[in-house]
Structure 1
Amino acid sequence: MVSGHRSSGDTEKAVRAKLGDAPVRHEQMAAVANIYRAAAAVRQHFENSVLRGVELTWTSFVVLWVVWIWGEMETRRVAEEAGISKGTLTGVARTLQGRGLMARSAHPTDGRLALLALTPEGEALMTDVFPQFNAEEGFVTGPLNDDEVLRLADLLRRIVVQVETCGEERRLELLDGQDPHPRRSGRRPKG
């Protein structure tokens, strides 16, 4: 579906050649493959440029961004907004706490819950790094004019809404109402 060193066009031609007349929705496959390729390319560019200088990963930046924009939040809400698991958030938050960029505190009314907030150092970092980050957003969308950027944002937003509003129902339909199998790393079980 996705190839790292070949162009999107080359990959699409190879898929058409391989699958021939199989009933495949080539345009939709190309769209999803290019969403993935674009996301991976953008993430890698940001991590190797703006974020590397401040020793942040994409995920740690997103966690900082969410808390910077929305203020102190429950950890489960931060994970939801960042689009990551609670387990991933735990590790990222610990790293950011260790760097003095984020503080964790107990929820005032429910001791089972925890809150995350940026420290003054975290606020200062985001204030400093965001203009650089935004400049790179301009760089990666540089080939598009303003109308195309707005159209792209709208089209991607529609895809996100489709998955968020109808994805669960579709999953249940595809799995005949069953829970999905647990995720595996791809390694065969020992034995």
Structure 2
Amino acid sequence: MYAPRRRQEEGEDVTGDRTIHETEKAVRVKLGGTPVAYEQMAAVSNIYRAAAAVRQHFENSVLRGAELTWTSFVVLYVVWIWGEMETRYVAEEAGISKGTLTGVARTLMGRGLLERRGHPDDGRLVLLRLTEEGERTMNEVFPAFNAEEAFVTEGLTDAECETLADLLRKIVVRTEEKGDDRRQDLLNGAPPAPRRSGRKPRPAA
């Protein structure tokens, strides 16, 4: 059972009904003598917590006002920054699958924020670019988005923000450069199994 929600003390990090420190302490108690890299586990779990908390805050504030999801904003941002791009590169930069991009792009095109055209040199490829309305939307939304970036990092100094960004870049670079080899080692060279939905298979008819 969850403990009753209690009042948050000033300066205290709270996630759900438990503080972050309470959760980390409970994990140590649960794992007991199991050999675990606790510092690394805390780093990764707090990356996830921070990302989830930030995304939820943005989607419930500045992005809600613009009627955008986090993913749709990221797609617009990528094309806004880099200009017209092939869909495969938009998906890669946004960190989403091509299938997810197809649905997001369809919604954004329906709102008149994004448009597509065939590649002039290869009819198999598709290019995405912002419409005038898309440009106007990003010019209006991004300053408000950046204001919330400043809000969620208000407890950090400029130097701490730079240090945090540098440390996170190291994790990204490490995963991108070494991740494929690591996954191959873990799978003994076998291809990854297809992802499953988590649902129980239907009984045979």
TM-score of the pair, normalised by structure 1:
0.97
1: CA distance, partners of 2:143 / 2:72: 17
- Aligned identity (percent) is 72
Match in the other structure for 2:7: none
C-alpha deviation, 1:4, in angstroms: 4.3
Q: Write the mapping of 1:154-165 to structure 2, written as runs, cut at 5 A.
A: 154-165=166-177
Tell me the residue number matched to 2:192: 180
Distance in 1 of aligned mates of 2:59 and 2:192: 32
- State the AA in 1 paired with 2:22: D
CA distance in 2, matches of 1:175, 1:8: 33
Taking the aligned partners of 2:151 and 2:117, their CA distance within structure 1 comes to: 38
Aligned residue identity for 1:119: T
> What is the alpha-carbon distance in structure 2 between the residues aligned to residue 50 and residue 115 of structure 1?
28
Per the alignment, residue 165 of structure 2 pairs with 153
Q: Which residue of 2 aligns with 1:190?
A: 202
User: Residue 171 in 1 paired to residue 169 in 2?
Assistant: no
Deviation at 1:187, TM superposition (A): 1.1
1:57 and 1:66 mapped to 2: Cα distance? 14
Distance in 1 between the 2:16 and 2:165 partners? Answer: 24
Residue 181 and residue 113 in structure 1: after superposition, are their counterparts in 2 closer, same or farther (change >3 A)? same
Q: 1:138 aligns with which of 129, 150, 156?
A: 150
Normalising by structure 2, we get a TM-score of 0.91
- Describe the SS at the equivalent of 1:170: helix
2:34 to 22, 26, 35: 22
TM-align CA RMSD: 0.8
The alpha carbon displacement at 1:185 in A equals: 1.6
- Tell me the residue number matched to 1:61: 73
The one-letter code of the counterpart of 1:188 is K
Aligned to 1:128, which of 140, 147, 151?
140
SS class of match (1:115): strand
For residue 12 of structure 1, the aligned residue among 13, 21, 24 is 24
CA offsets, 1:83-119, max 9 Å, x none?
Answer: 0000000000000000000001101011110000000
Letter in 2 for 1:15: V
**Aligned-partner residue type, residue 107 of structure 1:** H
Runs (4+) of structure 1 exceeding 6 A deviation are none
Residue 7 of structure 1 deviates from its aligned partner by 2.0
**Aligned pairs, how many?**
189
Amino acid of the structure 1 residue aligned with 2:53: A
* Stretches of structure 1 lacking an aligned partner (at least 5 in a row): none
- The whole-number CA distance in structure 1 between the counterparts of 2:43 and 2:33 is 19
Distance 1:5 1:133 in 2: 28
Q: Which among 118, 121, 125 is matched to residue 109 of structure 1?
A: 121
